[in-house]
A and B are shown apart, each in its own frame.
Chain A
Amino acid sequence: MSIYKIEIENLNAWFGSKQVLKNINIKIKDRVVTAIIGPSGCGKTTLLRCINRMHELVPGARISGKVFFNGVNIYNNGVDPVQIRRKIGMVFQKPNPFPMLSIYDNVAIGPKLNGINDKRTLDSIVKRSLILVGLWDEVKDELNKPGTSLSGGQQQRLCIARALAIEPEVLLMDEPTSALDPISASKIETLIRKLAEDYTVIIVTHNIQQAARVSDYIAFLYLGELVEYGATKDIFEKPKKKLTEEYITGKFS
């Protein structure tokens, strides 16, 4: 078995005729935080969405290349994308709790619709997930309130709890703090470090300081190409490429 959790091999991605990812190769170890950084429109989000097969949901989108998860290419024939997404969870840029569902149901719906019906099991999943994201004490008395009644930062943590409730192995986060205030954002950052003890986290961010704070590895994308990939410390202290250095020092963005 491979020592890598996720291996991306010669990955190309298109929207219609526009190529947005060019020959990406990245190997990601288990239980580390990897940040994907780069200027707007460089393909960060697309790369993330290729890892749980969400890219193909957009009409006209396609890919070539391989993405291995636990040594298995998720783009092989016969691999069910639904099963992949149960193992590779995702948190989105804007908090998006399900409308009309309570806080409890927002967390419970994943396991519920995946076949867990026992009330006591669901209760414990909800409690464990909410404790994990540090939301339990804030909401334990109002679990029946709608998920959308929470503040933005709380909603985002609820969405993380929702993703964790189905016990994924990898968590993809697409600029999870960009719609939040600084205090909520820093709570999420602390949470990401904590999650890295049990999960492989891949986070897209346009905030270089955030990448420095939360990540173990950094992948720097520019115009759909992987410019540099390495340990966060190395990227910041001795970047190999001039472009990387210019980006992290803020010469362009």
Chain B
Amino acid sequence: MKMTTQKIRKIKDIVMHFMIYLTLLIAILPPFSVMFEVIKRGFMAIDLDFFIKTTPTVGEAKGGIANAIQGTLITIGLASLIGVPIGVISGIFLSEYGENKFSTIIRFFNEVLNGVPSIIIGIFSYTLISPITGFSLISASFALAIIMIPIVTRTTEEALKLIPTMIREAAIALGIPRWKTILHIVLKGAKKSIITGILLAIARISGESAPILVTMGYWRWWFHGLNRPVANLALNIFLFANSPFENWVILAWGSALILILMILGINIITRMLMRGSF
């Protein structure tokens, strides 16, 4: 009698184990197959031309995505230039001067903004900036900056709140004015977590395509001014993957690979930062 109960338990155990591994497999299969496919096909695109030539036009031979890499970096750079200072300063405000109704409202709208679909932010920039500049880098960067702000604000606020009150009090008791306390002591303590937040926000906007789609317009040459369109990796994927030309489809996969590697790189740097490797 006793033996059979034990046997049943063992069988149950094996079945449960099997189910757990099976669900795990199902969960990780899609992302891995995406990665595998992108890497496999993306590598086919990679040669010297890929990194030094601009996007080809109809009938042209293979070409490259150098202009799209350049354009993406400039777009992200400009977005960060707008979004990071606003986000960090808002985060400082909410954490250090945030005990009032005004801050509660800001905090709430920040949360809401974080959840707004990025295409709506794209449309917002399209109606606000594009009438002045037309389809342009600035319009796209503006949209990406708005996507960044709530992320950076939130992580900055959280990072600063982790610095204990007694550290602030120690500084205030030294006769150090509040703004200097924040600038030289509180921010210094939270530096790593704030940079982590900024990097994650950059990783997030690197892959954004919807807002780019409605604001950027198409451009297949090099960067030629902030008020003009510029090539973009995410846009490349959208435009080329649907095209009938084989070399364009290959470039789409190549663009996808570069984009994934960029985001992977940012994430690895972030991880190293958090573990304190720097």
Contact = CB atoms under 8 A, between A and B. Distances in A.
B196 to A, nearest CB: 15
Contact of B175 (A57, A82, A92, A101): A82
Given A98-B189, A109-B184, A109-B185, A85 B166 contact: no
B174 A89 contact: yes
Given A59-B99, A92-B169, A94-B166, A100 B174 contact: no
B172 interface: yes
B191 interface: yes
Interface string B166-198: 110111111111001000110011010000000
B189 A99 contact: yes
Which of the four size classes fits the interface of chain A?
Answer: 20 to 34
Interface stretch (A27-35, A117-125, A158-166): A158-166
Interface in B9-25: none
B106 to A, nearest CB: 18
Interface residues of B, number: 20
A110 B169 contact: no
A109 B173 CA distance: 12
B174 A163 contact: yes
Contact of A113 (B169, B173, B176, B189): B176
Nearest to B178: A82
A100 B191 contact: yes
A86 B185 CA distance: 17
Given A101-B188, A113-B184, A86 B167 contact: no
Contacts of A84: 175
Nearest to B175: A86
B174 A96 contact: no
13 contacts: A57-B172, A82-B177, A85-B173, A89-B173, A94-B166, A96-B164, A96-B170, A100-B189, A101-B188, A109-B171, A113-B174, A113-B176, A163-B173
Given A84-B175, A96-B166, A100-B188, 5 more contacts: A98-B171, A99-B163, A109-B185, A110-B175, A114-B176
